[in-house]
Amino acid sequence: MSGLTHIGPDGRARMVDVGDKDVTERVALAHGRVHMQPETIQLAIGRDTKKGDPIAIAELAGIMAAKRTSDLIPLCHPLPLSSVKVEIQPDSRANALIVTARVKTSGRTGVEMEALTAVSAACLTLYDMLKAVDKAMRIDGVELLEKTGGKSGDYRKAGT
Amino acid sequence: MSGLTHIGPDGRARMVDVGDKDVTERVALAHGRVHMQPETIQLAIGRDTKKGDPIAIAELAGIMAAKRTSDLIPLCHPLPLSSVKVEIQPDSRANALIVTARVKTSGRTGVEMEALTAVSAACLTLYDMLKAVDKAMRIDGVELLEKTGGKSGDYRKAGT
Amino acid sequence: MSGLTHIGPDGRARMVDVGDKDVTERVALAHGRVHMQPETIQLAIGRDTKKGDPIAIAELAGIMAAKRTSDLIPLCHPLPLSSVKVEIQPDSRANALIVTARVKTSGRTGVEMEALTAVSAACLTLYDMLKAVDKAMRIDGVELLEKTGGKSGDYRKAGT
Amino acid sequence: MSGLTHIGPDGRARMVDVGDKDVTERVALAHGRVHMQPETIQLAIGRDTKKGDPIAIAELAGIMAAKRTSDLIPLCHPLPLSSVKVEIQPDSRANALIVTARVKTSGRTGVEMEALTAVSAACLTLYDMLKAVDKAMRIDGVELLEKTGGKSGDYRKAGT
Amino acid sequence: MSGLTHIGPDGRARMVDVGDKDVTERVALAHGRVHMQPETIQLAIGRDTKKGDPIAIAELAGIMAAKRTSDLIPLCHPLPLSSVKVEIQPDSRANALIVTARVKTSGRTGVEMEALTAVSAACLTLYDMLKAVDKAMRIDGVELLEKTGGKSGDYRKAGT
Amino acid sequence: MSGLTHIGPDGRARMVDVGDKDVTERVALAHGRVHMQPETIQLAIGRDTKKGDPIAIAELAGIMAAKRTSDLIPLCHPLPLSSVKVEIQPDSRANALIVTARVKTSGRTGVEMEALTAVSAACLTLYDMLKAVDKAMRIDGVELLEKTGGKSGDYRKAGT
């Protein structure tokens, strides 16, 4: 018994059967951050135009990526999402932009991967938008903060 | 002058014009890691079956995601990739699996985003494959190690 | 209060939460048209072969595009569609081909965007199929005719 | 009356309306095989490494393709799949690798196309993985073995 | 001789062979507009926040859709785009938002469909962003303004 | 040395490096067939309407699938196709519809997989269009007939 649900008793990868699970409301919250030079943060947040804003573009990329999760992660179930929110905030002390994603569904399996995928895509998009001035940015701390709904019980990151 | 190539002089987001750039061979190398419990690492690497191997599945997911980069990152150019390699190795001291991706193209713009996207997708897939036993895994240190080719010059991460 | 549901109270774009909405049958009907030279219309409708028919290809492209709506429209929810019909008819007086799309779902949000996307993709495909003989075609009048189902009430275009 | 559900009474292609069908559990089982030289089979199954295994990669490709069925087959409904399993076994007497796929959903229409698409994609991937040594491989016998659930009744291939 | 390049001499649809065409720089410019109530225009353009701006989101959706053109339009060639720009401006006299798209490639066939697809997707996204306050918006005047490059000669819309 | 180009010397799956290969014109020709009841063939080919024709829809699905090959086959390179043709003919003696696909590119690697994927998708679409009257159809004989271009030399199926 491997304990890995995506591996069957015969050792094969599978999209695990969730047909017997209840349709319940499931929520997942994840975050991550992109470390960068203080000047890069200022460039990212200091724009005085409504258009071409790296932060708004990265938030949108995160939302769109959440919808593509089952295309990217081989054994993820396709799920009809009922809500996706992505929020990017500067953390000046940490010299980072913090990305948070909250995803909801009414379905038979959780949306942890959708929340983590949204965070990752938003971080990658920040990198892409800002790389002309700073190639040494680093994506760190992408992790699940909280998940609710479903039989396996709720999860909350230790210390939060 | 914002210095951000994806933002035009009018402040609008754009897919920057690379039509005047030369077609040259361009390579990018990126890495990242997934921190996890020592027991989770053992589970990931210790499998004695050829099928359902989390590491092989995550490497494959990284390769496939590199091909989808321009779908995920809003202002990325679609590029014909000539090579993608993704390699996952355990780092027992760091309690992490290390993901490295190397991408090549003959094209008019670099493949940094393809390499970083491959790393991120492989990390997310490791999370998905292993989350049944460890929800506290954390993706860290996703960054560009090296890029060569193109007019803007080569880049190598400081200290490498 | 902006009144724009895709913009949250904090001013951020979001995929609006429809988790509390009822699953009801929702239908949307949209239309549009492609203006062209009378000779182009004759070419489009006068084909005497079963294969390579621009009208049949454009109807099919509309149906397929309806299924891709949430990939194209950033804040659209992914929805399991239960029916899509696209119909193209010539309007000789208007020198146009008229495209009509009807989409149904059992879901928590409406399918207006799916119907409008089907119409737009069918119009674009007509343009693509016929552009070798007429580059001056024009897509006009893409609009929602009717929507039913859901709490916000039914809508019917004025004058219809 | 054509008897073809994807063709409407007006002779047009359509995504047939399944809105009145019940949501029931539906299962489909399909198989197919790739004929090849005995040496190619040995190469495919005899690998002594966990990584780069053609069979595991083809099984994964089949699972992922099942999720893309409605993108590939023009009039297929998008469906939330609850389980996908793909299994490849050698049949030494037939000089073939046998691919079997089992797909489940709770939905308003069946998953025959998802199972057949998974089988086809796995067969194509085996071809791709092995074509460097054997270009004369042949995909044969892709067919539905069994389908259950839904009003039209169960189906089982004659003689099975 | 139908004159329709996407229909072969045997009457079949085909992706026309461009293998003998030269790789040249090709540009296409297209526009379109979304008619709406004056109050809706004000709502669209008057936002005083950098985030959640309907115009910036629609411009981005247009750029991203240009990259998906060959997925949406059945007989379009996949092309490596070298530049995409989408610009939305209010036209207060016409009670409309005007969408303009400019696309470039170095390739064997033109990018008219990419420019028209970008315009259509941006118009649809404006509709989606604003439909909560105005369902009677109408997309009009989607047409090619100009195309350059390639053997078939340049095109410029009459009167421009 | 496994001889499998998609497996590296370290045993890992990889998208093999084609950066050093020449850009040449490459063509691949593949075929396959769908066996069915004589009555089903008559239904497929005897339609007296231009719309909703199973054969035309399946040919189109084959063309579109060729463009998605690198999404479906994990280690396939994304390629800019210069031509795709799919043709379906009845073979009354064999009680089958014969699907043939011809694909061309100017690139660094061959298009065998694109041709085989086009054939498979067309066969699957025929199944989908006709399954309401005949669930016992069987896809057989999907194989490469011919490939030209590239350093590894031309290939022609034995006996053709």
Who has greater pLDDT, E11 or F104?
A: F104
**What are the DSSP E strand ranges found in chain E?**
24-35, 81-91, 96-107, 138-148, 155-156
Which ipTM was obtained for this model? 0.95
Give residue for tokens 């997911």. B61
The token pair that represents C115 in the structure block:
């119907």
F35 touches F123 (CB < 8 A): no
CA distance C83 to C99: 17
Crossing angle for the helix pair A112-130 and A54-67, nearest 10 degrees? 150
Backbone angles phi, psi at C135, to 5 degrees: -85, -5
Whether B33 contacts B99, CB under 8 Å: yes
> The CATH number of A30-150 is which of 3.40.50.12780, 3.50.50.60, 3.40.50.1820, 3.30.70.640?
3.30.70.640
Q: Is the pLDDT of residue B50 over 50?
A: no
What is the pLDDT at residue C132?
A: 92
Closest CA to A62 of C14, E84, B64, B69: C14
Contact B59 D51 (CB under 8 A): yes
pLDDT for the residue F49: 46
Q: What is the pLDDT of residue C2?
A: 61
Is the pLDDT at F135 greater than 50? The verdict is yes
CB D143 within 8 A of CB F135: no
- Determine the topology of domain B26-149 in CATH: Alpha-Beta Plaits (3.30.70)
**Amino acid C1: pLDDT:** 41
* Cβ–Cβ below 8 Å for C75 and A68: no
3-state SS, residue B10: coil
> Are D11 and F51 a contacting pair, CB within 8 Å?
yes
CB interface of C with A, residues 102-141, below 8 Å: 107-108
Choose which CATH entry (3.30.70.640, 3.10.580.10, 3.40.50.150, 3.90.950.20) describes domain F29-149: 3.30.70.640
Distance CA B45, CA B96 (A): 11
Closest CA–CA distance from residue F145 to any residue of chain B (Å)? 26
Looking at the DSSP bridge assignments, the partners of residue B49 are: none
Q: Which of A73-87, C93-107, D125-139, E44-58 has the lowest mean pLDDT?
A: E44-58
Indicate which residue of A22, A71, A91, A128 is catalytic.
A128
Quick check: F147 pLDDT over 50? Answer: yes
- Contact state of E82 with B80 under an 8 Å Cβ cutoff: no
- Give B13's contacts in chain E (Cβ within 8 Å): 56, 59-60, 63
Helix, strand, coil shares, percent, chain E, to 5: 30, 30, 40
CB pairs below 8 Å between B and E: how many? Answer: 53
Judge whether C14 is closer than 8 Å to chain A, CB to CB: yes
Cα separation of F38 and F33, whole Å? 14
The first and second tokens of residue E160, run together, are 């421009």
In this predicted structure, the answer to whether residue C45 has a pLDDT above a threshold of 90 is: no
Tell me the helix, strand and coil percentages in chain F, rounded to 5.
Answer: 30, 30, 40
The answer to whether residue E97 scores a pLDDT higher than 50 is yes
pLDDT one-digit tens code per residue, B27-47: 999 999 999 999 999 888 876
Check: CB of residue D134 under 8 Å from CB of residue F119.
Answer: no
* Domain boundaries of chain E, sorted by first residue: 24-149
- What backbone phi and psi angles, to 5 degrees, belong to E129? -70, -30
- Chain A residues whose beta carbon lies within 8 Å of the beta carbon of residue C74: 60, 63-64
Query: Mean pLDDT throughout D11-32?
Result: 92
DSSP alpha helices (H): ranges in chain C?
A: 38-45, 54-67, 69-72, 112-130
User: What proportion of chain F, given as a percentage, has pLDDT over 70?
Assistant: 95
pLDDT tens per residue, range B78-103: 999 999 999 999 998 889 999 999 99
Percent of chain C whose predicted confidence (pLDDT) is above 90: 74
Assigned superfamily of D24-156: Molybdopterin cofactor biosynthesis C (MoaC) domain (3.30.70.640)
Torsion angle, alpha carbons of A33, A39, A45, A46, to 10: 180
State residue B47's pLDDT score. 62
Which of A114-118, D7-11, D93-97, E32-36 has the lowest average pLDDT?
D7-11
**Residues A57, C74: Cα–Cα separation, whole Å:** 11
Q: C34-148 in CATH: which number?
A: 3.30.70.640
Rounded mean pLDDT, D118-145:
96
Query: Domain E24-149 is in which class?
Result: alpha beta
- Give the DSSP H/E element, type plus range, for residue D90: strand D81-91
Max Cα-Cα span within chain E: 58
Strands (E), E66-120: 81-91, 96-107
> What average pLDDT score do residues A142-151 get?
93
**How close, in Å, is residue E72 to chain C by CA atoms?**
6
Q: Which residues contact F153 (CB under 8 A, 6 or more apart)?
A: none
pLDDT band of B1, cuts 50, 70, 90: very low
